Amino acid sequence: MKTILLTTMMVGLCCIAFSQSNKEEVDLVQSVFGIEKKTMAAKFIKLEGAQKDAFWIAYDDYEAKRKELSKKRIELLNNYVSNYTSLDDAATDQIIKDVMKLQGDTDKLIDQYYTKIKKGSGVKAAAQFYQFENYILGKLRSEIMENIPLIGEFDDK
């Protein structure tokens, strides 16, 4: 399941980042990714009764907010890919600042929902959510870095 999820995620991101994307493409990739991710989370996070209901309400709310941050990630990738050959110091600095802010916002969102899930579903479910999200996010960040050129990689030496 992890392989399918990550493959879907990367195929979608690569298609979007290396083409002139549009809202429908982004929404489609996010929809497929979200469905597969939720299926994987359901296999990993086992709850019953009120704890289960509280978890999925919080998780769905989290996912809606995460998708907005994901759109920003895709915009940043598109900006980077589109402007890679002409990045000057100011543009490079801005991209890095935007990436750092997005990473911080994403980490804050996960932290917020850890607390919400802990209240409604308990520490174990919150910890599983935290591990799961950070695993997916770590894989995503790693895949992106492995598939884009480093700044200056193709400069004349």
Residue 156 lies in a domain: no
**C-alpha neighbours within 13 Å on the C-beta side of residue 56:** 11
State residue 112's pLDDT score.
98
In this prediction, residues 7-29 reach a mean pLDDT of: 58
Residue 86 lies in a domain: yes
How far is 44 from 80, CA to CA, in rounded Å? 35
State residue 9's pLDDT score.
53
**Chain segment 46-98, per-residue pLDDT in tens:** 889 999 999 999 999 999 999 999 989 888 988 888 888 888 999 999 999 99
Residue 55 lies in a domain: yes
| 69 close to 105: Cβ distance less than 8 angstroms | yes
pTM of the model: 0.80
Neighbours of 82 (CB within 10 A): 12
66: domain range? Answer: 2-147
Residue 154 lies in a domain: no
Q: Side chain identity at 77, as an amino acid letter?
A: L
State residue 74's pLDDT score.
87
Q: Which of 23-37, 62-76, 140-154 has the highest mean predicted lDDT (pLDDT)?
A: 62-76
**Chain segment 96-133, per-residue pLDDT in tens:** 999 999 999 999 999 999 999 999 999 999 999 999 99
Q: How many domains does the chain have?
A: 1
Residue 34 lies in a domain: yes
